[in-house]
Amino acid sequence: MATNSKAASAISSIPDSRKLLDAVNSMDTRSLEVFTQQVIQLLAHRKSAGNLSETEALLLKEIYTLIPERAQSRFSELSFKSEESDLTNEEHLELLALIELLEEKYAKRLEKLIELARLKCMRLEDLMLQLNLSPHFISA
Give the pLDDT confidence score for residue 98 in this predicted structure: 94
Give the pLDDT confidence score for residue 7 in this predicted structure: 45
Give the residue ranges of the chain where pLDDT is below 50: 1-5, 7-12, 138-140
**C-beta of residue 78 within 8 angstroms of C-beta of residue 95:** yes
Give the pLDDT confidence score for residue 4 in this predicted structure: 44
Dihedral (C-alpha) 48, 50, 54, 57: value to the nearest 10 degrees?
A: 30
Give the pLDDT confidence score for residue 113 in this predicted structure: 93
Alpha-helix residue ranges (DSSP H) falling in the chain: 2-12, 17-25, 29-47, 54-63, 69-83, 89-119, 124-130
Render pLDDT for 11-33 as a digit per residue (tens, 0 to 9): 445 667 778 888 888 988 888 87
Give the pLDDT confidence score for residue 20 in this predicted structure: 82
Give the pLDDT confidence score for residue 78 in this predicted structure: 93
DSSP string, 92-129: HHHHHHHHHHHHHHHHHHHHHHHHHHHHTT--HHHHHH
pTM above 0.85, yes or no: no
